[in-house]
Amino acid sequence: MERTFAIIKPDACKRNLAGKILAKIEEKGFRVIAMKKIAMTRKQAEGFYAVHRGKPFFDSLADFMSSGPCIVMVLEKENAIAAWRTLMGATNPANADPGTIRKEFAQSVEANSVHGSDAPETAEYEIKYFFSALELTA
């Protein structure tokens, strides 16, 4: 079993899409280990996306991620990291496959509704950024 970190981003929370996105996650057999709704400050969003600091989209991305509440989650399944990336779809919704969350819900390459870790090391960092050990016992 593998764990990954997921976010339902502010654009999706604002449009009341969290339930529909969670239904897809559960249909695919992920177990939700932990979940909470949070509103990130600009600094917290910058810290989360520190790997993208210096890129042309960084400032706008940090503004977007701190523009409203998010739902952060830890998901468990066999090959959870790859499986969640597949269900999310491509970063740019214009390139996302039919049936993916980004194809169905994303508004733009920035407001693309969901986040997912891209490797075991990033999953570990991202889970620890938002959840304590005590919150990961379910």
Which residue is catalytic, options 8, 75, 115, 131?
115
Regarding 110 and contact with ligand UDP (CB under 6 A), the answer is: yes
> Residues 68-93, buried b or exposed e (16+ Cβ, 10 A)?
eebbbbbbbbeebbebbbebbbbeeb
Of ligand UDP, Mg ion, none, which one does residue 128 interact with (CB within 5 to 8 Å by kind)? none
Q: With CB under 5 A as the rule, give the number of residues binding Mg ion.
A: 1
Interface residue with ligand UDP among 91, 104, 107, 136 (CB under 6 A) is 91
Q: Interface residues for Mg ion in 102-131 (CB under 5 A)?
A: 118
Least distance to Mg ion, CB of residue 52, Å: 8
Alpha carbon distance 27, 92 (integer Å): 24
Nearer to Mg ion, 23 or 116 (CB): 116
Regarding 61 and contact with ligand UDP (CB under 6 A), the answer is: yes
Give the residue carrying structure tokens 């057999």. 29
* 52 annotated active-site: no
Find, among 88, 112, 110, the residue nearest to 101 by Cα: 88
Find, among 12, 20, 10, 9, the residue nearest to 115 by Cα: 9
Q: With CB under 6 A as the rule, give the number of residues binding ligand UDP.
A: 9
Alpha carbon distance 79, 62 (integer Å): 29
> Residues 25-38, buried b or exposed e (16+ Cβ, 10 A)?
beeeebeebbbeee
Least distance to ligand UDP, CB of residue 14, Å: 15
- Residue 57 token pair: 């989209």
Of Mg ion, ligand UDP, none, which one does residue 61 interact with (CB within 5 to 8 Å by kind)? ligand UDP
The residues binding ligand UDP (CB under 6 A) are 52, 57, 61, 91, 109-110, 112, 115, 118
